[in-house]
Every structure is written in C-alpha cells, then in structure tokens.
Amino acid sequence: MKKARNIVLLMVLLTGLCVPAELFSAQQREQAAGRAIPEASLRKLFNDYVCDHLGKSPEDAILSRFKVSGNRPVPAGQHEYRVFQKSKGEPKGHVRLTVIVSVNGISQSEVALSGWVDAFGPVVCTTRSMQKGEIIRGNDVYLARKNLSRLPTNTLTDPDKAMGLVLKNNVGGNTCLKEWMLKRNPTVDRGKRVTILAGMDGLRISVPGRTMEKGFVGDFIKVENVMSKKKIFARVVDSATVMVEF
C-alpha cells in the first residue's frame, strides 16, 4: 500500500495530476497545513522574558498555572517571536504576555500566554522590635529572601534606602519594611542652635543662630540671629550649619 501511494505521488509530481486528499498521510497533511508552536517553546519564551526583565535566575522566578490560547498552526519556515507584556509593572504575580509569531519575516499569528510568577529576592527586615520615632541604623535591619510576588510593591529591597529614616509606627521583629512605614529624619529640629553663614564678594561671616522650624538638607527654613534677634531664611547645610544666600 505504501509503495502504491508513493507511485501515485510520484506521478502527481511528474504530470501535475490531482489526487484525492485521503491518499496523503496525516503527517503530510500536517506538514502542508503547518504546526502550532510547541507549548514547551512558549513556556521557555515566557520564562526567558520574566527572568530577563526581573534580572533573576530561573530558580528565583518560578512559573505556575501556565496557560496558552490562540496557538493556531503556522507554516514551516524561519520562525521569529516577539514578546510583549500586556500589563504594566514588573512581570511577577499574575503575568500576561503576547507572542507575535512571524515566519520568514511575515507575521502569522498572535498567541496569548498567562501564568503566575513567584519572584524571590532579598527584602529589608527588622532585627528587633522597634518603637515609633526610632531611627534605622545598620544593625537594626537584615536582608531575608522572600516571595516578592506576595508582598506589596513598596516593600524595601535596599537597606541603604532605610538608613537614617524614622519609623512612623511601632514594628515587631522580623518585619518586612515598607516605604510607608518610614519618613525622613529632619537634619535640624526646631529650636536647635546652629551657625549662620553669610558671604558676599569673597567675604564670609558667621553668627550664632537658632532654628525656628525643622528642615532637611537643602531646605530653606526660618532662623533667628541670636545676637540681633533678627529672623531670616537660610538654607540647611548640615545638622549644625545654615547658609544665607543673596
């Protein structure tokens, strides 16, 4: 039977005769119609996109609940894939991607991919219970590997961004710090003794002063010249110095 079918196919090639479709094998019909992209290839595209955009290894970006839709057959040829993220933000948690499939430079299909990504990485946690108003120091925090997909997006991952900040509320030990839990620590408080510097045409003078409001480096705050009792605005230079600018 196989030999007879091959003879008929050869005659078709030589004479251009038409033959019934049932004489072609299922494999031959599949090759003529094209094939869908293997799911394993689509999963790899998904994983590669996630790892690249998160800057993580596959061990730190775990995919589950993977789904594919619209994966229709495409012709044989040189396949190219372009991957786009449908949702904004980092590709973690519930992620939806679109894959544009091109064959020999011609767009052929659009495949929708979705899945849940558990992205693991370091987060800043407290080493002890701390009270409202305490300033974060180096030994107050440590880095712990956590599932970032299950934590708020404002969870701190860089301990340097917590240093010197003040707690807005009491927190327990091993608490993952969020941005909203912290505020900047004023460089100078209200009523603090400072040196007021003023300069012009190469001359510089300094007088003792007292702050009338709190402020951060670069802020302009009201200060009092202790000697003249005159109130002026000056820029905070550091915790002990303000500068009058003309």
The structure tokens listed for 188 are 């100078």
* Dihedral sign from CA coordinates of 110, 115, 119, 125: positive
25, 36 in Cβ contact below 8 A? no
Calpha distance 64→52 (Å, rounded): 18
CA angle in degrees (0–180, nearest 5) for 93-95-97: 165
141, 123 in Cβ contact below 8 A? no
CA angle in degrees (0–180, nearest 5) for 168-170-174: 115
Confidence of residue 42 (pLDDT cuts 50, 70, 90): very high
Element containing residue 241 per DSSP (H, E): strand 241-244
In 3D space, the residue among 204, 206, 168 whose CA is nearest the CA of residue 184 turns out to be: 168
Calpha distance 85→66 (Å, rounded): 15
**Model confidence, pTM:** 0.65
- CA dist 137 to 130, 167, 169, Å? 11, 11, 16
CATH architecture type of domain 193-244: Roll (2.30)
Integer-rounded Cα Rg, in Å, for the chain is 34
Calpha distance 91→36 (Å, rounded): 25
Q: Does residue 6 carry a pLDDT above 80? A: no
Three-state secondary-structure class, residue 164: coil
Overall residue count recorded for the chain in this entry: 246
Question: Between these two residues, 44 and 29, which has the higher pLDDT value?
Answer: 44
Q: Give the residue carrying structure tokens 């702050």.
A: 211
Q: What is the pLDDT of residue 52?
A: 96
For residues 39-58, average pLDDT: 96
Calpha distance 112→96 (Å, rounded): 7
Q: What is the pLDDT of residue 39?
A: 96
For residues 35-56, average pLDDT: 95
Q: What is the pLDDT of residue 24?
A: 43
CATH number of the domain located at residue range(s) 39-119 in this protein:
3.10.129.10
101, 113 in Cβ contact below 8 A? no
Q: Does residue 50 carry a pLDDT above 60? A: yes
91, 101 in Cβ contact below 8 A? no
Q: What is the pLDDT of residue 86?
A: 85
Confidence of residue 93 (pLDDT cuts 50, 70, 90): very high
Residue 43 amino acid letter = R
CB neighbourhood size of 60 (10 A): 16
Calpha distance 95→50 (Å, rounded): 9
CATH number of the domain located at residue range(s) 120-183 in this protein:
3.90.1210.10
Q: Give the residue carrying structure tokens 């994966």.
A: 71
Q: Do domains 120-183 and 193-244 have the same CATH topology?
A: no
Q: What is the pLDDT of residue 217?
A: 87
Domain boundaries, the chain: 2-32, 39-119, 120-183, 193-244
Q: Does residue 116 carry a pLDDT above 60? A: yes
CA 149 to chain CA centroid, nearest Å: 11
